Copies of this chain bind each other. A is one copy, B any other.
């Protein structure tokens, strides 16, 4: 019997948060190697050093580790530059917090191959290589846990996979990127457009100096791919999920949205269709103010899961940051130490065809150099594609050389709107790209 199967079958006690009135059996501590000692790693170390007595941090691996060393951790911990040390016989679980695809993938493979369970907060690793690593874990009789890879401290991976296991979920939607949500909340508050809000987010450390992954939706789509797996049992490559940027949003869009009883959020959504395909997309959308999605402020995350039997269940909280993410990592460590992970990775999943087609009302914002005949020209093209206009909104106070106005469209396929846009964008009075946003019902 290898070490990891000892762990997964051990009935270890729950973390001793407090001296208990109820006796519980003693169990040998489970040894943990932490690979990556940044913000999340430090938080994990702090939680481990302060409470769950049966989890024992034994190794900390980091490049140039001496500059990382802290004095508040026990002396027995081995500080090392060398990942090989994490494969020491004494280690039961390797926590991968280096991020990115390589060497994270190679290290996770090596740890699993050595019979160690792996806990990771790495969304890209799981979104891209989850199936291969889960299969390796299964063959090795180890666990691969990734609760921290989606929505930080919000326990949505276990919530979908275990808490709602009894339902048949068909839709998972949410706000999965705190950086975008912070930026959009800032624009909503007024006074700044996208560029200003991004700058502020960067100054506060909420956005990277290269914000592409967040702003273009690549971060959220990796998380959505993971949720589609754990919630809908569908295998989706992140690259198959359509993404649209939030970079063209301006303050005026929120003013018009507000007139429609809405705000704007980056929405990630995966939905099983009756034809067996999976709709999956990450895009900015108009969200009714009464929706829980509209009320997510700043860097919070929210996931709504909809099932055949249980209806809509919502999970929300802090989706990022060292401490919340560390809570998810430690919760996974406890689950493995308690032998509660058995069978997770055996959930049958299926490969599905992915579509980005949907029917929705649309909100189009045009910025034009004003002159007579604009509405006629635009509505003529829309009519040609059989698209009906619901409303035209035009606020006063903008220069006629750069005049924004909005049309909302009656529910129709987004592909039809895309075709019309292709023609509309060539109209010579358009002075900015047309912004098209779906409106959530």
A residues within 8 Å of B by Cβ? 9, 11-22, 24-25, 43, 47, 51-52, 131, 135, 147, 153-155, 158-159, 161-168, 233, 235, 292, 295, 307, 309-318, 323-324, 326-335, 338-344, 346-351
Is A330 touching B17 in the complex (CB atoms < 8 A)? Answer: no
The number of times this chain is found in the oligomer is: 2
A163 touching B163, Cβ below 8 Å? yes
A-B CB proximity, top 8 nearest: A20-B348, A155-B163, A166-B330, A14-B347, A313-B317, A153-B310, A166-B331, A310-B327
A374 to B180 alpha-carbon distance, docked (Å): 54
Option from B16, B333, B340, B347 in Cβ contact (under 8 Å) with A348: B16
List residues of chain B with CB within 8 A of the CB of A315.
159, 313-315
Q: How far is the CA of A136 from the CA of B165 in the complex (A)?
A: 26
Identify A166's interface contact among B13, B328, B343, CB under 8 A: B328
A166→B14 contact, CB < 8 A: no
Given contacts A163-B158, A331-B165, A351-B21, contact A310 B317 (CB under 8 A): yes
Closest to A148 in B: B166
Cβ of A328: which chain B residues have Cβ within 8 Å of it? 166
On whether the beta carbons of B164 and A331 are closer than 8 Å, the reply is: yes
- Taking a contact as CB atoms under 8 Å apart, the answer to whether A21 and B167 are in contact is no
Tell me the minimal C-beta distance from A48 to chain B in angstroms: 9
Hey, which chain B residues are within 8 Å of A158, CB to CB?
158-159, 162-163
* Complex Cα gap A27–B419 (Å): 52
CA distance A331 to B19 in the complex (A): 30
Report the bound CA distance from A328 to B43 in whole Å: 32
Which of chain B's residues has its CB closest to A21's CB? B350
- Chosen A-B contacts, 30 in total, with CB atoms closer than 8 Å, are A12-B343, A16-B348, A17-B168, A17-B233, A18-B348, A20-B233, A21-B235, A21-B348, A21-B349, A21-B351, A22-B131, A47-B166, A47-B309, A51-B168, A153-B309, A155-B164, A155-B313, A159-B159, A162-B335, A162-B340, A167-B330, A167-B331, A310-B327, A311-B318, A313-B315, A313-B317, A314-B315, A338-B343, A339-B339, A339-B343
Say yes or no: B166 contacts A334, CB within 8 Å: yes
- The CA-CA distance from A346 to B22 in the complex, in Å, is 8
Say yes or no: A346 contacts B14, CB within 8 Å. Answer: yes
B346 touches A13 (CB 8 A): yes
Residues from chain B with Cβ under 8 Å of A339 in the complex = 339, 342-343
Residues of B within 8 A of A51 (CB): 168
Assess the A311–B13 pair: CB atoms within 8 A: no
Nearest CB of B to A44, in Å: 9
Contacting residues, chain B, for A20 (C-beta < 8 A)? 233, 347-350
List, in ascending order, chain B residues with CB within 8 A of A14's CB.
161, 165, 343-344, 346-348
